Chains A and B, each alone.
Chain A
């Protein structure tokens, strides 16, 4: 799909020659911190941003040549909801359907279905202004689905939502995935990436750091389990030297020490044996956060 894709803004390189491809029906995620180049990539795919160099085809076409043809089959959910505040919920869906040139009759029946899908049926005639953040987000997604797109693109779909609203949204996206819609998702939440994506591309500073399934990434770049210990921020660095030999790999963070091992309980036992007693300790499974830390030396959400 993309080869050597590059975008420069003056001297600043937003995308540094990335290659990737997404299969039909796949749920593909771009994971990385702010400024990694995720949104830039999305906008180039959505054929609303021109690339500096490299090649890309979307649905078999070049976005710079066939923008409108490609966009006719994309559903785009931008980072910031851009709904028409002056119009009602159903009018927002209606006018959007018209932009695709869809017949009025088709749009009307589609609206009922989408309102049901987004759990907004009772808000049908409300003005957009009156909706909560989660409702607006669901409406934006419903709007992107009005044309029954082949690819649904979601830029940070749940940023700024409370946990409950996030789970409702994930559920809806999961259903779409089951129905065979290709999903392209950017996120800086590892739990979101793990929940929704079949395959992930970890990005940082305009480059691809790794690409695999969530479990594949964890297997490749981390151990099965992690032991998190805290000795108090001033002592962490002190004891770190002694802990290094007890595990496969260690990360010293300002507030805690991460010890990577396939059996984290055993490591904790050994720590106690050498006479060290952490203030708190936690055994958990490795996550994408650990993968990211390993790949970039930084945490995802800073």
Chain B
């Protein structure tokens, strides 16, 4: 009934090639899994901005515009002010969810990473594969969100497209930290609670998302300063409608985010290798 033959995989396994491409193999697997949920991923990417734009852009926007008169906020219509923040927020959130849930699943729930590590794949490749597949999903989300924004007339595609890049940059930098944090989290419940309640909500609300950060009292502005969303939003506003920031601050925004990336990835490599060999 069964025949188990050797078809010569021993010759087919090219360890050097596998070592070079390991990250790609992990990405292939992650993207295949995402493909299973493609419908829900896309619909959340479309519906989420749609609802925000209707409620905030139109609802709050009408109110703000009527108060502020033709000057709007920061010299532009409210929806133009809001758009870069929403795009940055969705990029950060999507990137974050793709580097946290799969990591908890990999180390804790289904222990998939241990199965991967029983092959020639190394901890570093598994970390990078997870990271880059999150990036691909985030690019997809940004593209969809951006098209919705354009469709709504919130932004002008020709002028505003660089804010897609700044959003991706910030999401990728912060995603590196979250990748490491999820790999370091031994207690998944605690981690998810902390992330959901103490991280996502305050970041979203206190990062100058819905009104300029400096209209808040000084202590609360601190949250914005550490928040990747604020740095990303500032850059997005700068590139999309010429929001005024000093050259020093532009550099500060870029460097701060870059620091998150470098620290995050090296911490992540360390945690992945540690968890897999424990």
Residues of chain A having any CB pair with chain B under 8 Å? 46, 48-50, 67-69, 71-74, 76, 78, 80, 82-87, 91, 95-96, 98-103, 106, 109-110, 113, 116-117, 119, 143-145, 147-148, 150, 172, 175-176, 179
Contact = CB atoms under 8 A, between A and B. Distances in A.
Nearest to B129: A99
Interface residues of B, number: 41
B4 interface: yes
B149 to A, nearest CB: 31
A148 B115 contact: no
A156 to B, nearest CB: 15
B3 A116 contact: yes
6 contacts: A73-B10, A98-B28, A100-B120, A113-B4, A117-B2, A143-B115
Interface string B216-237: 0000000000000000000000
Contacts of A103: 12
B120 A102 contact: no
Contacts of B122: 67-68
Interface in B200-215: none
Interface string B110-147: 11101111111110000000000000000000000000
A71 B118 contact: yes
Interface stretch (B14-22, B190-198, B253-261): B14-22
A153 to B, nearest CB: 9
A175 B116 contact: no
B2 A175 contact: yes
B277 A87 contact: no
B117 A48 contact: yes
Interface of B: 1-10, 12-15, 17-19, 21-22, 25-26, 28-29, 32-33, 36, 110-112, 114-122, 276-278
B19 A68 contact: yes
A87 B25 contact: no
B115 A82 contact: yes
Given A69-B120, A72-B120, A78 B25 contact: no
A84 B8 CA distance: 26
A73 B118 CA distance: 10
A78 B111 CA distance: 10
B130 to A, nearest CB: 14
